[in-house]
Amino acid sequence: MKVYSFPRGGVSFDDPTVPSRDASVVAFLPAFSIIPLTQYPGGRVDALVSVGNFVREGMLVGRGKNSDAANIHATIPGQVVRSVEWNDNEGRPNEALVIRLEGSFKYLGKKEENFLRGGVSRKELLQILTDYGIVEMESSGRPVAGMLAELDNTGTSQTLVVRCVFDDPWLAADYVVCRERLQAVVEGSCIIAMNGAQIKRIIFAVSHKEKEIGDALLSAAAQYDIPSAVILTGSRYPQRNRRELELALRGYEKKEGVDLGALLILGPATLAAVYDAVKYHRPILDRYVAVGGSAVRNPRVMLVRIGKRIGDLFEECGGFVDVPYRVATGSPLSGKPVVNLDEPVTKTSYAVFAMLRAQAGDGLKRNCISCGECRNVCPVGLDPEELYKRIMVLHSAHNPGAQECHGCGCCDLMCPSHLPLSDVIMGRISGESA
């Protein structure tokens, strides 16, 4: 089969400190669950419980006030013992409820009732996704119901793209989802497709190195009366980014003479959550998280309750071999620093890592040597060196093309001078503060 990719730039890399993708382990239940009331920028949530209240597992504790806000549920039973606030690495305020584990469970260890026997209508699907707080779990955390409604307004045919592209070794948790919950991923895809007003087909976009996963997904989807196909993509980072993935899909569209229309791109964890919500009326209570890095004694992929402290995850992996130099969520290429190990796992926490100084480099920024490596790897075709110098040296506010940067971090990875190129271009670091 032909492999479809984006035309230029990108990097291929490995990381030996990533946990094994062979299997997962179930993390211990948290004694205290920290449930953030805002899990997507712009989404406003009204708390429905107060300190002193008792809650059940899966109980609605926060209701979204607008289409950008997802409902929030208690992930353990117990008593709300306090409300906490903190600022993240970008200075944004966060508020959360702290629940102390106490009482019996509604879902854990219980036989779940199947609510999908008679199918669901389009209206019922959107209501279920809203009620159970189903969000895009691999990226921004956008509510899925809002994404579907937005596509409906386009009035064009649509394709559901199941994104199983592993261009980054830190996507180990998504890989495990595809292995351990393959049937749930496929059924979640079919639930969306069968109830999508204009969705005409399902495309399983799979890295060419993982072709067997694509074959398994397509085989499982064969029992449903929905046109489905596998597209093998490249494995260079950032193939998984929407822009680069869409370039690959449009290449397939042109070669095969098909009209994919508008693309709804969702990852395996999100589609498994759709399946759980529709079939079992279960909110997102847990997720697979890759826990590793050179500072972690025993890296693992873990099934973790939302709200568990990040510090507790590291402890369950044997603790640190030495004081970590950097702790963050996500991939080292584009991760967000963890300010405090008391910060919780959220619906979008697909990985957390702690690295030693030796893995992170010496951290010293040096003068640009004009090697051009940043230009060679930029998938958008920008000149990161020139943009960096205009911002840092000239303090220029006019930087043509900078808005096209999506912060993939390829230039940072390749820069021998360890310059924070993408952070500066994206405006995360200003010329005055760098």
Q: How many domains does the chain have?
A: 2
- Asked whether residue 243 falls in the same domain as residue 118, the answer is yes
Q: What is the mean pLDDT of the chain?
A: 90
pLDDT of residue 198: 81
Q: How confident is the model at residue 407 (pLDDT cuts 50, 70, 90)?
A: confident
User: Tell me, what's the pLDDT at 41?
Assistant: 63
Characterize 303-322 residue by residue with b for buried, 16 or more Cβ atoms within 10 angstroms of its Cβ, and e for exposed.
Answer: bbbbbbbbbbbbebbeebee
Over 90: is that where the pLDDT of 53 sits? yes
The encoded tokens of residue 25 equal 């382990």
- For strand 336-337 and strand 45-47, is the pairing parallel, antiparallel, or unpaired? unpaired
4's torsion region: left (phi>0), alpha (psi -120 to 50) or beta? Answer: beta
| Cβ atoms of 32 and 55 closer than 8 Å | no
Q: For 104-150, what is each residue's pLDDT tens digit?
A: 999 998 888 888 867 788 889 999 999 999 999 987 789 999 888 88
Same domain, 276 and 415: no
Together in a domain, 265 and 395: no
| Residue 382 belongs to domain spanning | 373-425
pLDDT reported for residue 432: 44
More confident residue, 316 or 39: 316
Classify residue 305: in a domain, yes or no: no
Determine the average pLDDT of the residues in 260-283.
Answer: 96
- Interacting residues of 77 by C-beta distance below 8 A, sequence separation 6+: 54, 55, 56, 57, 101, 102, 103, 104, 105, 106
pLDDT of residue 42: 62
pLDDT, average across residues 231-257: 95
Query: 348 pLDDT exceeds 80?
Result: yes
Between CA 77 and CA 102 the distance in angstroms is 6
Distinct helix (H) and strand (E) counts, the chain: 13, 18
The pLDDT confidence band at residue 434, using thresholds 50, 70 and 90, is: very low
Give residue 310's region: left, alpha or beta (phi > 0; psi -120 to 50).
alpha
Cβ neighbours of 127 (radius 10 Å) = 13
The pLDDT, as a whole number, for residue 206 is: 98
d(CA 11, CA 152): 36
- Do 154 and 270 have their domain in common? yes
Please check whether residues 118 and 251 belong to one and the same domain. yes
**pLDDT-based confidence at residue 351 (cuts at 50, 70, 90):** very high
pLDDT of residue 13: 85
In a domain? residue 357: no
Q: So what's the pLDDT on residue 243? A: 92
pLDDT for res 31: 96
What's residue 293's pLDDT?
96
CB count within 10 Å of CB 335 equals 18
* CB-CB contact of 167 with 235 (8 Å): yes
Whether 288 is covered by a domain: the verdict is no
Domain end residue (candidates: 280, 302, 331): 280
Contact (Cβ atoms closer than 8 angstroms) between residue 234 and residue 247: no
> Which amino acid does the sequence have at 130?
T
Q: Can you tell me the distance from the alpha carbon of 318 to that of 299, in angstroms, rounded to the nearest whole number?
A: 8
In a domain, 273, yes or no: yes
Q: Give mean pLDDT, residues 314-320.
A: 98
Pick from 344, 347, 351, 348: nearest CA to 94 = 344
117 domain residue, yes or no: yes
- Mind listing the pLDDT tens digit for each residue in 299-312? 999 999 999 999 99
Question: pLDDT by residue (tens digit) across 321-346?
Answer: 999 999 999 998 878 889 899 999 99
Residue 252 lies in a domain: yes
Instruction: Provide mean pLDDT across the span 55-83.
Output: 93
Q: Of 280, 309, 337, at which residue does a domain stop? A: 280
pLDDT at 61 over 70: yes
The more confidently predicted of residues 432 and 98 is: 98
In the predicted structure, residue 263 carries a pLDDT above the cut 80: yes
Whether the predicted pLDDT of 430 surpasses 80: no
Q: Is residue 160 part of a domain?
A: yes
Q: Could you tell me where the DSSP H helices lie in 281-356? A: 310-316
Q: Give the integer Cα–Cα distance in Å for 157 and 236.
A: 29
What does pTM read for this prediction?
0.93
DSSP state of 394: S
Does some domain include residue 22?
A: no
Same domain, 241 and 126: yes
Pair of tokens at residue 336 = 């967000």
Task: For residues 334 and 358, give the distance between their C-alpha atoms in angstroms, rounded to a whole number.
Answer: 19
pLDDT tens digits, one per residue of 194-222: 886 688 899 999 999 999 999 999 999 99
Site of tokens 């399983």: 204
Q: Are residues 125 and 271 in the same domain?
A: yes
Q: Which residue has better confidence, 127 or 427?
A: 127
- CATH at residue 179: 3.40.50.11540
Among candidate residues 280, 312, 345, the one where a domain is terminated = 280
> What is the distance between the terminal CA atoms of the chain, rounded to a whole angstrom?
47
Q: Is 88 left (phi over 0), alpha (psi -120 to 50) or beta?
A: beta
Examine the pLDDT at 179 and tell me if it is beyond 70: yes
